[in-house]
Structure 1
Amino acid sequence: MVAALMALAMAAGSPAPASPAPAFPLEGVWHNPKNSVAVKTGACPDETGGSKLCGWVVRADDEAQADARDGGTPKLIGTALLREYRPNGRNRWSGQIFVPDMGRTFGSTLTLVDADTIDVKGCVIGGFLCKTQTWRRG
């Protein structure tokens, strides 16, 4: 009886099993610096049967939607901005970023700064000209 009570007491003090970690630490909803666009990231299948990280617009203010339409993207909500990112070093992923107001896709890296911050970098001309934005988890 004492052994059963001790086992019960020990089990009650044990933490609950942790929920499974996301496939990518970048999974979630991220907001650009102006908070004009929110992007939901998650796994997307690739042609080899594996998965990559992608991100789709889930919210955009009126100005961002108008800029996207002017750039040739009629429907911004649902558009994949982050495409085919794969791990490329510690806390870093490489892929493509679609810029709707330009209607173009560029080489890009995502760097996990901390649990709630990523640096999104897009480059043209083989990485010669680059721009970085800091996005926050929301």
Structure 2
Amino acid sequence: MTPSKIAVLASLALALSASAALASASPVGVWYTQGKQGKVRIAPCGDKLCGVIISGRGQDGKPASEARDEANPNPALRDRPILGLQILRDFKPTGPGRWGGGKIYDPNTGRTYDSKISLSGGGVLKVEGCVTVICQSQTWTQAD
């Protein structure tokens, strides 16, 4: 093999490993919410990221399949199930391992907050909800 072919193959291998590293640095997948109270699946929705509840318990302790969105400010939505409820929406990349411009809905309070998420490494996702400049964060862990 000629030195130029070796260089091309080495470059290709490096590019592929870099692509794999970037793909793995994504919040796409299933995450336990803080305290493992529930699971949220984050996936692309159009050109942004969204997340839906796929298991857990409602505020009243009922399984997500039985719990309803009772705190929703819109009375017409208070009977919708928590299971399958979209709680994250509109996240777009803002830098390596970071996504912003999104919203997070808290079905326990019926409130929606500006939000950003960031990967901390080791299967940890920092999820922040903000009102003006005051933010609260949760640590979510990658589900098996």
TM-score of the pair, normalised by structure 2: 0.69
Cα deviation 1:75-104 (Å, max 9, x = unaligned): 111111110100112211011111111212
Q: Which residue of 2 aligns with 1:134?
A: 139
Q: Please say if 1:57 is aligned against 2:53.
A: yes
Deviation of 1:69 after TM superposition, in Å, equals: 3.5
Contact 1:68 1:76 in 2 (8 A): yes
Deviation of residue 68 (structure 1)?
Answer: 5.7
CA contact (8 A) 1:117 1:137 kept: yes
Q: Structure 1 residues 76, 67: closer, same or farther in 2, change over 3 A?
A: closer
8 Å CA contact retained: 1:24, 1:42? no
- What do residues 1-58 of structure 1 show as CA deviations (whole Å, max 9, x unaligned)? xxxxxxxxxxxxxxxx99x85597111100112211100011001xxxxx10111100
TM-score by length of 1: 0.71
Bigger CA radius of gyration:
1
Aligned to 1:96: 103
Aligned residues: 114
In 1: Cα distance, 2:127 partner to 2:68 partner = 19
Q: 2:71 — aligned with what?
A: 71
| Gapped regions of structure 1 (runs ≥ 5) | 1-16, 46-50
In structure 2, relative to structure 1, the CA distance for the partners of 1:77 and 1:24 (3 Å cut) is farther
Separation in 1, partners of 2:69, 2:44: 27
Equivalent position of 1:38 in the other structure: 39
Q: Which residue of structure 1 aligns with residue 90 of structure 2?
A: 84
SS at match of 1:34: helix
- Structure 1 vs Structure 2 CA RMSD: 2.5
Give percent identity, aligned residues only. Answer: 29
Deviates more, 1:35-44 or 1:73-82: 73-82
Q: Give the aligned residue type for 1:135.
A: W
**Which letter does structure 2 place at the counterpart of 1:30?**
W
Paired residue secondary structure (1:39): strand
For 2:125 and 2:98, how far apart are their aligned partners in 1? 9
